[in-house]
Amino acid sequence: MAAAKLFALTCIRKESHGDLSPRPHYPSMPRIPRGASADGKDAAGETSEARAVLSVVGMTCSACAGSVEKAVKRLPGIREAVVDVLNGRAQVLYYPSFVNEETIRETIEDVGFQAALIKDEMSERTTQLCRIRINGMTCTSCSSTVEAALQAVQGVLKAQVALATEEAQVQFDPRATNLGLLLKTIEDTGFEAILVSTGEDVSNIHLKVEGVRTDNSMRILENSLQALPGVEEIDTDPELRKFTLSYKPDLTGPRSFIEVIESTGSGRFKAAIFPQGEGGRESYRQEEIKQYYRSFQWSLVFTVPVFLLSMVFMYIPGIKHGLDTKIVNMMSIGELLRWIFSTPVQFVIGWRFYTGSYKALRHGSANMDVLIALGTNAAYFYSVYSVLRAATSPSFRGTDFFETSSMLISFILLGKYLEVLAKGKTSEAIAKLMDLAPETAILLTLDNEGNVVSEQEIDSRLIQKNDVIKIIPGSKVASDGFVIWGQSHVNESMITGEARPVAKRKGDAVIGGTMNENGVLHIKATRVGSESALAQIVRLVESAQMAKAPVQKFADRISKVFVPLVIILSFSTWLAWFLAGKFHGYPKSWIPSSMDSFQLALQFGISVMVIACPCALGLATPTAVMVGTGVGASRGVLIKGGQALESAHKVDCIVFDKTGTLTVGKPVVVNTRLLKNLVLRDFYELVAATEANSEHPLAKAAVEYAKMFRDDEENPAWPEASDFVSVPGHGVKAVVRNKEIIVGNKSLMLEHNIAIPTEAEEILAETEGMAQTGILVSIDRELIGVIAISDPLKPGAREVISILNSMKVKSIMVTGDNWGTANSIAKDVGIDTVIAEAKPEQKAEKVKDLQASGYIVAMVGDGINDSPALVAADVGMAIGAGTDIAIEAADIVLMKSNLEDVITAIDLSRTTFSRIRLNYIWALGYNVLGIPIAAGALFPSTGFRLPPWIAGAAMAASSVSVVCCSLLLKKYRRPKQLDNLQIHGITVN
């Protein structure tokens, strides 16, 4: 599936630009294929694409992959081409009307590599991924039960259930199971299951239709919509007059659906997008908050009278006398009233705890609901027994605990209300990201010549592929796409974290949700709905919040035995105090006047049962991970889950790639030394003609420099080069104007028996000493000149390495460049250990050697050749301007491409993990201290005992305090040393 991974949507992709100024980095936008019309269709009016997968033999580095990719993209009708140098694969999306597989294969062979067509592996996909929202989970025991049930389903390869996000992510074999069975499995465990996504390349939209009066009309509309090309599935809700459509955005879109609905039935029907948030996680959370609030309010209506009757009115002489009046035998009016008021609380308002307990016990597990049900039932039914016995006995004087059960339920409901309120704030980062998209957009209608015919304001969710959208100054870009008219500056900081506005002109890519600052732009929409960069980033953050940190296994292990252990402790407490009272183990003066030894023991037992809180333990890790990853995303540091967070806080050694990581990655020519009399313009014309066919960054630098000597600087026509040969890692050669030109390093010259004069040797040594790369140029086997190319250091690189040293993190540089340049760069930034001339597999080996020496290693890189090392490292960090493969392999993506974010990532992970530790200390310490106090440990010496209702309030407070502790991470500020760096955008002149 390596080839398949190449086309997996990542949150960031590389865009090439014509100038040398690095651009903030975001997902790539599909280009209109050469030879295709502006509306994205081919000559036949078809929009269908084909995919070709080829094996490519002979590639050794990223320059080779770049050569293949560029050659393929030059062909007409190519939509996208991705080359994987590590696995020797190329995947190409193309329009069959313009090009075929054989032409693509021959083009790759013309570049100098062997190519063969292979079967498309993606068509044989044997696994599917889905996300399911689960409503009703309260603690770790619930999530563990669901996870175990899903894992037991045949065909499920992996199931993850996250308590904090209330979602499950399931990887399964569709040949062995199906989505219906997965949903049924969750519902059988006692929870509500709602399918969120299936991982298919489809988008979803909800439409509300007005004017529908009969079910027959609904069926007619459904059939009309089903006939549209690209419509995958339609669900209808006749009561709400709602249609939910799954469709392929390449073929159709929401405006087409609305047009079909409104043109059916002689204009009787009107359609619009269903109100925002209907059925979503946020709407469920809001409903859950309202439910707990309503339940708490109703419980107060009945609990306050019980509290007054048992704890206030009993001390007011006149009222006390009335309440003590006997009705039947020894049963008083006060007891009867307390029984009447507490019963609705116990069985109506507290019914949720009975259903929760039943569902848990039915599947052989025990959760917090079991503890609450047992504790309140013990208090309530003992009180009922006491009242009934008083009613049937002329002499029995008992005490009831009706206030215990009703107040206990009230405080727990208050705690749950505050908990869901706080938990809702942990996912605010995702909500803020989603809010970046504008609500409306201006849709333009163009004539055949590209002139604007009309403008129309529409809901931004109605944008379809290939729409032309107008973006006015001060408004947000409504969709991912590219500029077809106009110039402006766009602030992309909300997505990339890069504060500097970026200039946009015709052909430049734009991203939905960013802010247009001054000019008017017309953009063509290329990625809409779930394909957009914003949606991809949201999915990545959601996926990160789903992933469990290894430290959470500790809580999971405890939760399995927690409830049974608490029940045993509770029963033991009651038994110990009861037996001590029975056999006069303590003075009778210890027993309060209003109860006997049995009742005292019962209170201690109930207090132990309700003070123990498994929820706090279960929420300790996921809430901190949720807030931590959200904070990281808002600062341009995308952390792929709890595993990455946990590993990053331990990092004590960082391996840096050089080009594009420590340096800007945009080499420029800084000096030229000619050894023979030759006009510099003619010299560079020959060099550019030779290097124009190479994708190597150094070759690009030489060609860019050569343009300065031409009047037609934008698109110069270089002399034709024949017999072009690229020697990976060494250079290129070709015949230009009947002269054999060789451009490359020293070893390439020696290989062709070209003498290197002493003067050239000295120039090379001087160049390398200045951290520059020297390129030799020979014409007809005679060395003519030396070109010095420099890749400048990123601003703040020295300071970042210095700060890492102060954090006791060792820095190492590994590069494929020569030793002279590598040592000079390392000396400039303050790195002591350098490995140069390293191949991709050698970088990975170095990482493994460091791990074997006991280091926790992070690798920071940006290229295809860094991917093995990124995977091998404990934490892989991909610089945001890097390649798709590097980003796919990394655990952390630094979107701004700034080195300072390496420190931010490590510091944020340390802060988050310290918060997780604090949560565990609080949750465990609370139980370790609270249970003995509830069991009466302080009672013999101080006379202090914890009534059950106070124990219940304390239990509720513990969960709220853990969530609030995690929420304090929102106040995270990066290290102050970074604020002093003042690193801004990087510009290379």
Catalytic residues: 657
Beta strands (DSSP E) in 34-177 are: 50-57, 78-84, 89-94, 114-118, 128-135, 156-162, 167-172
685-708: b (≥16 Cβ within 10 Å) or e: bbbbbbbbbbbbbbbbbbbbbbee
Q: Which residues are paired to 731 by β-bridges? A: 727, 744
- Cα 638 from Cα 892, distance rounded (Å): 6
Asked if 182 and 171 touch (Cβ cutoff 8 Å), the reply is no
Two tokens, residue 786: 């030396």
- Cα 330 from Cα 385, distance rounded (Å): 13
Helix (H) or strand (E) holding 419: helix 402-426
* Phi/psi of residue 548, nearest 5 degrees: -85, 140
481 in helix, strand or coil? strand
927 Cβ contact partners less than 8 Å away, ≥ 6 residues apart: 611, 612, 613, 616, 617
91-102: b (≥16 Cβ within 10 Å) or e: bbbbbebbbebe
* Phi/psi of residue 658, nearest 5 degrees: -95, -65
- Cα 481 from Cα 208, distance rounded (Å): 28
C-alpha distances out from residue 265 to 231, 242, 270, Å: 21, 17, 10
Pick left, alpha or beta for residue 393 (phi over 0 → left; psi -120 to 50 → alpha; otherwise beta): beta
- Cα 574 from Cα 597, distance rounded (Å): 10
Q: Name the DSSP letter for residue 476.
A: B
Task: Describe the strand order of the beta sheet including 156-162 as a list of residue ranges.
Answer: 156-162, 167-172, 128-135, 192-197
Alpha helices in 656-751 (DSSP H): 680-691, 697-706, 746-751
Nearest Cα residue to 188 out of 42, 36, 360, 330: 360
Nearest Cα residue to 90 out of 75, 80, 76: 80
- Cα 145 from Cα 400, distance rounded (Å): 37
530 in helix, strand or coil? helix
Length of the chain: 989
Two tokens, residue 377: 């039932």
> Which class for 502: exposed (0-12), middle (13-18), buried (19 or more C-beta within 10 A)?
buried
Q: Which residues are paired to 788 by β-bridges? A: 671, 774
10 Cβ contact partners less than 8 Å away, ≥ 6 residues apart: 27, 536, 884, 887, 888
Query: Cα 840 from chain centroid?
Result: 28
- Cα 39 from Cα 35, distance rounded (Å): 12
**CB neighbours of residue 781 within 10 Å:** 12
Alpha helices in 812-947 (DSSP H): 819-829, 840-852, 867-872, 884-889, 900-934, 939-942
The CA dihedral of 662, 666, 672, 675, to the nearest 10 degrees, is 80
Helix (H) or strand (E) holding 286: helix 281-311
